[in-house]
Structure 1
Amino acid sequence: MKKREKFSSRFGFILISAGCAIGLGNVWRFPYITGKYGGAAFVLLYLFLLLILGLPIMVMEFAVGRASQKSVAGSFEVLEPKGSKWHLYKYFALSGNYLLMMFYTTIAGWMLIYFFKTLAGGFAGLNIEQVAAVYDATTSDPWLSAAAMLFVVALGMFIVSRGLRNGVEKVSKFMMSALLLIMVLLAIRSLTLPNAMAGLAFYLKPDFGKLFEYNLSEVIFAAMGQAFFTLSLGIGALAIFGSYIDKERSLLGESISITLLDTFVALVSGLIIFPACFAFGVNPDSGFGLIFVTLPNIFNNMPLGQLWGGLFFIFLFFAALTTIIAVFENIVSCFTDLFNWSRKKSVLINMIGIMILSMPCLLGFSVWSHIQPLFGGSIMGLEDFLISNNLLPLGSLLYLMFCVSRYGWGWQNFLAEANTGKGLKFPAVFHFYLKWILPLIVLFIFIQGYLPYFK
């Protein structure tokens, strides 16, 4: 049997796992909902929920990966009781990885296009309506969007083809280090703008009254949703990296380091966005509008705006590409585990497959824009709904039950694996909470995700 590759360092494991968790939602969604629901008061609630919701399931994913030494395609078969059917989830997990990449690669392509447009002065002198028109023209141009998406897929798969240490680890270390450096530079620049302190106060001054301006259950669900989905749990995208690490360190401490890095990126994104918005009298809004319309207008009014705008979009591209590389590595490993293919063969076949499967999302903004599944939403919206509202919560629930139930891997086996090595130990006292309470919370998140579609 071919010996499994390992990370060259603990630092590499933490950076790459954090790169998988850190994505575009950290940049546009977290700052928006933080400002909406009370700034620092909401952050405190979010951090508490991140600790009790996301962190235990992250430890479980890593434990399943490390104990089995397999991707999600084979991990359950190695660990499950004989005759049980937990391993059937591998097909849903693999589908989740594909679904995520079917729209994520298109968005990453747009980030790359905007990087070059900004550096070339493509937004100079444009008003907000004209900037919005550039966004519409970019997304509705199937040839330009396709070229960018195909480049992103080819680049990500080329990096994965180089192997774990020489490709995935080496490139992810560079990109994550560059991402963190660019973020700090952008935050410093944003905080030195006129009236930046008003934006900082809006973002970070605790206002517990705002928690009650809205329905409290709405605020709690918003914090739950962000805490739960920010770590990309439930589809084996993190478990694969558990299979690449040794047993020198216990898994709780490593998971906390990754969670802190993910949270740092989300918090610093707010330090970039809110002071800049307040400096130029712009209301920060959610989603694509913030990234592709609001921020280019801000950079237009900023001295050396082309430089700062270019840095911002390359930072976004790196945030997207680190996630893409991590998920590609999981997909490629799944196929090598399932069919005993070589890495090169798995890369080639999956590269072609993802290029083809990403086309509906991309074309959904142009020649297929008339196709509006899911109550009039876009094809991208449907793909996002399937992964975010279904496979992530249900997959997390499955990992959770597999690790705490005697009909799965079992609590004692999980605890022994999680606590092997130096570092923080996973508290055994949480067994009752993890077996009976956390599953209900995950189900609540799953059900809440459907409620807007019935209103």
Structure 2
Amino acid sequence: MQQNQPANFKNRIGFVLASVGSAVGMGNIWMFPYRVGQYGGAAFLLIYFGFVALFGWVGLSGEFAFGRLTGTGPIGSYAYALRSRGKKGGGVLGAIPLLGSLGIAIGYAVIVGWVVRYCWGAVSGSLFAVGSEEYFGQITGPFGSLLWHGVVVLVTVLVLARGVLQGIEKVNRIIMPAFFVLFLVVAVYVGFLPGAAEGYRYLLIPQWEKLLDPMTWVMAMGQAFFSLSITGSGMIIYGSYLSKKEDIPRAAMQTALLDTCAALLAGFAILPAVFAFGMDPASGPPLIFITLPKVFAQMPGGRFIAVLFFLSVIFAGITSLINMFEVCAEAVTTHLKLPRKAAVVLVGALAFAAGAFIEFEPYLGKWMDAITIYVVPFGALLCAFIIYWVLGGKRIGEELVLGRKKALCRAFLPTARYLYVGLAVLVFILSIICGGIG
């Protein structure tokens, strides 16, 4: 282990919680509930569960194993894979998903800053003193949220500066259970509101005819793929900090299960409340920043519930940012030879400086579209191909069986090489055609 590298995760629980923290993000909270209802309710869920199981089993396991095998991030890992074939240029390829993570982090930090501002607005009451549209407009203009955006970056940097055990693992051990508890409290409270049953019907009543609509399958696949944070970078770096004694496929499936539970919990907390007050369950930023504040304003005890809700969203956002910043900081530490703390500060400063110029909501939207539609899906596809075709099934299979008490399922490698990589190609193509599916 290099001198500047942080220690490994202490055990599988810490690793899984950190991985779940990376996976659980805004997509679980504002996109998942809407898509479930729009594309078939329980019918959509059945397809979604199938894709989550598949992508968790071979996709997440592959990225974890790739990182543990190489002991480094995407640049070093991709270079290792190509060297195994006598080729050069792997480091350049590895920079593509790394830039995807940095690009998402830049925009994501701005959005989490908005959530922090909303949480403070719920605490102080200023959120309810004006209309949610006006409040949202106040913070999404040019340089409209520098303070809150800066707080988010600073907190993330401080966590990472403490390394894996005292920073990433320790924080996720606290934040992720707190996330589930807070959302559970909100969901239970919302369940007793008059009219909440309509939200449950929206989520759970199967619209079987939607199974004949190709877009139902496309959106379920995209939601599952990106919900697990299979981007060819972040999960590789967490895998590089994992002990050889741990069972990777088991940890991957536990991560996928908890991520799915988080998405369902968000749906049960948000949609019943929206329907209880006759609001439109729109997707994207309007759901969290415009629709829900109107709901909280009308709800008995709504101010308290708003604080809990936005606090839990902050937790989801920070844990995702920790992973994005970490993969970038590791690259700076390893390849530019900077001390870890200096690397973390450099990444944070770069993310904040770049993000400051896209705080204007239309600019941010264009930035995130470019990154999530083109860069991230291509990075994920590239990683899948390099793991299962360049590095090869035999070598990654040897890594996957370490820490297991039984052999890898015979269907694992054929499923990964043909079905998973084929679907990764499809995700990339459909993401461009549809203007984003995750």
Q: For this structure pair, what is the TM-score category when the shorter chain's length is used for normalisation?
A: over 0.9
Which residue is 2:76 aligned to?
74
Are the equivalent residues in 1 in contact too, given 2:397–2:408 (CA < 8 A)?
yes
1:289-322: CA deviations, max 9, x gaps? 1101111111111111111001111111111001
Contact 1:73 1:337 in 2 (8 A): no
Q: Once the two structures are superposed, what CA deviation does each residue of 1:249-284 show, in whole Å capped at 9, x if it has no partner?
A: 221110000001110010011101121122112221
- Report the Cα distance in structure 1 between the residues aligned to 2:224 and 2:250, rounded to whole angstroms: 18
Q: Are the structure 2 counterparts of residues 425 and 234 from structure 1 closer, same or farther at C-alpha, using a change threshold of 3 Å? A: farther
Looking at structure 2, the residues matched to 447 and 34 of structure 1 have their Cα atoms a distance apart, in angstroms, of 22
Kindly indicate whether the alpha-carbon contact (under 8 Å) linking 2:234 and 2:327 is maintained by their aligned counterparts in 1.
yes
Report what 2:61 is aligned to: 59
Q: Residue 115 of structure 1: CA displacement?
A: 0.2
Q: Who is 1:278 aligned against? A: 275
State the secondary structure of the residue aligned to 1:74: helix
SS of equivalent residue, structure 1 residue 5: coil
**What is the match of residue 236 of structure 1?**
233
- Within 5 Å, give how 1:202-217 maps onto structure 2: 202-212=202-212, 216-217=213-214
Q: Specify the code of the residue in structure 2 equivalent to 1:202.
A: Y
CA displacement at 1:125 relative to structure 2? 6.2
Give me the CA root mean square deviation.
1.9
Query: What SS does the aligned partner of 1:428 have?
Result: coil
Distance 1:63 1:453, change over 3 A: closer
Structure 2 CA distance for partners of 1:360 and 1:121, relative to 1, 3 Å: same
CA distance in 2, matches of 1:230, 1:253: 18
Conserved? CA contact 1:105–1:358, under 8 Å: yes
Report whether the alignment pairs 1:11 with 2:8.
no
TM-score, normalised relative to structure 1: 0.90
Counterpart in the other structure of 2:141:
140
Instruction: Tell me what 1:372 maps to.
Output: none
Of 370, 376, 398, the match for 1:386:
370
Read off the aligned partner of 2:175 and give its amino acid letter: M
2:188 corresponds in structure 1 to: 188
TM-score in terms of structure 2 length: 0.94
Moved more, 344-353 or 425-434: 425-434
Which whole-Å CA distance do the structure 1 matches of 2:363 and 2:301 have between them? 37
Q: Which amino acid aligns with 2:204?
A: L
Distance 1:34 1:180 in 2: 20
With over 3 angstroms needed to count, the CA separation of the structure-2 counterparts of 1:423 and 1:282, relative to structure 1, is farther
Tell me what 1:336 maps to: 333
Whether contact under 8 Å (1:71, 1:333) holds in the other structure is yes
Of 305, 308, 322 in structure 1, the residue corresponding to residue 305 of structure 2 is: 308
Cα distance change on mapping 1:424 and 1:176 into 2, 3 Å: farther
Amino acid at match of 1:344: K
1:201 maps onto 2:221 in alignment: no
Q: CA offsets per residue over residues 412-452 of structure 1, 9 Å max, x none?
A: 11111011113675423243343234333222222222224
SS in 1 for 2:234: coil
Specify which of 31, 34, 39 is matched with residue 32 of structure 1: 34
User: What is the distance in 1 between the residues matched to 2:288 and 2:388?
Assistant: 41
Name the structure 1 match of 2:387.
403
- Post-superposition shift, 1:217? 1.1
Percent pairwise identity: 29
| Aligned 1:409-420 pairs, distance under 5 A | 409-420=391-402
Report deviation, 1:167: 1.3
How big is each residue's C-alpha offset from its partner over 1:180-217, in whole Å with a ceiling of 9 and x where there is no partner?
A: 110110110011111222321221122313444xxx11
The 3-state SS of whatever aligns with 1:238 is helix
Paired residues of 1:61 and 1:242 also in contact (CA < 8 A): yes
Q: Do the aligned residues in 2 keep the contact of 1:250 with 1:420 (CA within 8 Å)?
A: yes
Q: Which moved more, 1:145-154 or 1:109-118?
A: 145-154
**Corresponding residue of 2:432:** 450
* Residue of structure 2 equivalent to 1:177: 177
Q: Report the number of matched residues.
A: 432
Task: Note if 1:432 corresponds to 2:434.
Answer: no
Secondary structure of the corresponding residue to residue 126 of structure 2: coil
Distance (Å, rounded) in 2 between the aligned partners of 1:250 and 1:234: 21
1:21 aligns with one of 20, 23, 48: 23
CA contact (8 A) 2:59 2:416 kept: no
Find the aligned partners of 1:17 and 1:253 in 2 and give their Cα distance. Answer: 13
**Matched-pair contact (CA < 8 Å) for 1:232–1:392:** no
Distance in 1 (CA, whole Å) between partners of 2:112 and 2:158 is: 16
Q: CA deviation at 1:19?
A: 0.4
Letter in 2 for 1:229: F
CA distance in 2, matches of 1:266, 1:383: 25
Instruction: Note if 1:359 corresponds to 2:356.
Output: yes
Query: Quick one: structure 1 residues 198 and 424, their matched pair in 2 at CA, closer, same or farther if it must change by over 3 Å?
Result: farther
Contact 2:57/2:252, CA 8 A, preserved across alignment: yes
C-alpha change, 1:78 and 1:221, in structure 2 (3 Å) is same
- The Cα of 1:453 is off from its aligned counterpart by 5.9
Once residues 242 and 303 of structure 1 are traced to their aligned partners in structure 2, the CA distance between those partners, rounded to angstroms, is 45
The alpha-carbon distance between structure 1 residues 341 and 125, as it changes in their structure 2 partners (threshold 3 A), is closer
Give me the whole-angstrom Cα distance separating, in 2, the residues matched to 1:452 and 1:278. Answer: 28
Closer, same or farther: CA 165–430 of 1 in aligned 2, 3 Å: closer
Note the alpha carbon deviations across 1:33-63, whole angstroms, 9 max, x for none: 0011121111111111222245412111111
Give the drift of 1:248: 1.6
Shift of 1:140: 1.7
User: Which one of the candidate residues 322, 327, 332 is aligned to 1:325?
Assistant: 322
Q: Aligned equivalents of 1:446 and 1:255: distance in 2? A: 22
C-alpha distance in structure 1 between counterparts of 2:300 and 2:358, whole Å = 36
* Matches of 2:429 and 2:412, distance apart in 1: 24
| Contact 1:159–1:167 (CA under 8 A) maintained in structure 2 | yes
State the Cα distance separating 1:340 from its structure 2 match: 2.2
Which position in structure 1 is the counterpart of 2:258?
261
The answer to which of 311-320 and 393-402 deviates more is 393-402
Give the Cα–Cα distance (whole angstroms) in 2 for the partners of residues 89 and 176 of structure 1: 32
| TM superposition shift of 1:356 | 1.2
Contact in 1 for aligned 2:143/2:356 (Cα 8 Å): no
What's the secondary structure of 1:221's corresponding residue?
helix
Contact 1:111 1:317 survives alignment (8 Å) = yes
Query: Does structure 1 retain, via aligned residues, the 8 Å contact 2:16–2:254?
Result: yes
Match in the other structure for 1:370 = none
Shift in CA distance, 431/323, structure 1 to aligned 2, threshold 3 Å: same
